[in-house]
Amino acid sequence: MAEDHDPLDWLEEQHRGPSGSRVQFQQQLAECDAQLIAIGRQVAGAIVPVTEAFLQADHHRADELLHTALAVDPQCVRLEEACYQIMARQSPVAGDLRRVVAILHSVADVHRSANLLKHVANSLTWVHPPSMPDDLRQTIAQLGEVSASILYGAVEAWEQHDGLAANELDARDDQVDLLQKWLLAELYTGSQSVEEAVSLALITRYYERVADHAVEMARQVAYFLTGDRISS
C-alpha cells in the first residue's frame, strides 16, 4: 500500500514560507515522483493476486482487493492536484515542465490500469473460471504475470529515471499480445458459451491494456529526460 503522505504538503509549506527556492521546487518534484512510484507499485502488486482470485473464483479475496490495493482514486486525484498546483505556482519550463506533464500522463496510466483490474475482479459476477479448461486458465495466469512484470518495470524506470527501459518493456508487451491472440483463437474454436467467450475475450483485453499503459508510463520517462517521444 502507498504511504498516506500528501504531495501537496510541500506546496503548502512553500506558500506559508519564503517562495522561489529552487531546492524546494526540486523537493516538490521528487515528492510527486515518489507518490507516482508508490501508487504504481501498489497497482502492480495487485495484478497477480487479482488474477489468482479470479481463477479461483474467490469472491471474498476479489472484493478485498477492490477495496484495498485497487482503491487508488483518492491518491491519484491528490497527485494530479499537486502537479497542477506546481504548474500554476512555479511555472516550470523545459525539462521540469516535461517532468510534471510526464507525471500527469503516468498517473493517468496507473489509474486506468487499476480500473481495468477492477473489471477483471468484477467479472466473477458472470464467469466461473474453475470450470474453464486448464490451458485457458494457465494462459490467463501468464497474462497476469507478464502484465505485472511490465508495470513493475515501468515503476522501476521512473524510480531509476531510466529512459531506455521502454524499449525492453515494449518487447515484453509483444508477449502479452501473443498470449491474447492465442487465447482468442482458442475461444473461437472452443466449447465455451457465447457469453463466457465474450467475457473472457474482454478479460484478455483488460490485461493487454494494462501492459500498454505500463509501456506508455516508461515512455514518459524517456520523454521528460530527453524531450523525445518514443513512438509505439
Confidence of residue 5 (pLDDT cuts 50, 70, 90): low
With contact defined as beta carbons under 8 Å apart, do 227 and 98 qualify? Answer: yes
Cell numbers describing residue 225: 529526460
The confidence score (pLDDT) of residue 4 equals 55
- Average pLDDT of every residue of the chain: 88
What is the band of 7 on the pLDDT scale with cuts at 50, 70, 90?
low
Tell me what the mean pLDDT of segment 89-112 comes to.
91
Distance CA 226, CA 115 (A): 30
Q: Does residue 122 register a pLDDT over 60?
A: yes
What the block records as the C-alpha cell of 213 is 499503459
The CA distance from 38 to 47, in Å, is 15
CB 184 within 8 A of CB 190: no
Residues 6+ apart with CB under 8 A from 207: 116, 120, 140, 143, 144, 147, 176, 180
**pLDDT, average across residues 101-119:** 96
Question: Residue 165: is it exposed, middle or buried by C-beta count within 10 angstroms (0-12/13-18/19+)?
Answer: buried
CA–CA dist 218, 154 (Å, integer):
5
* Domain extent listing, the chain: 8-226
Checking if the pLDDT of 1 tops 90, the result is no
Q: For position 20, what pLDDT does the model report?
A: 52
Instruction: Say which CATH superfamily domain 8-226 falls into.
Output: Phosphate transport system protein phou homolog 2; domain 2 (1.20.58.220)
- Provide the grid cell at 1: 500500500
Amino acid at 41: R
C-alpha Rg value of the chain to the nearest Å: 19
232: confidence class by pLDDT, cuts 50, 70, 90: low
| 172, pLDDT greater than 70 | yes
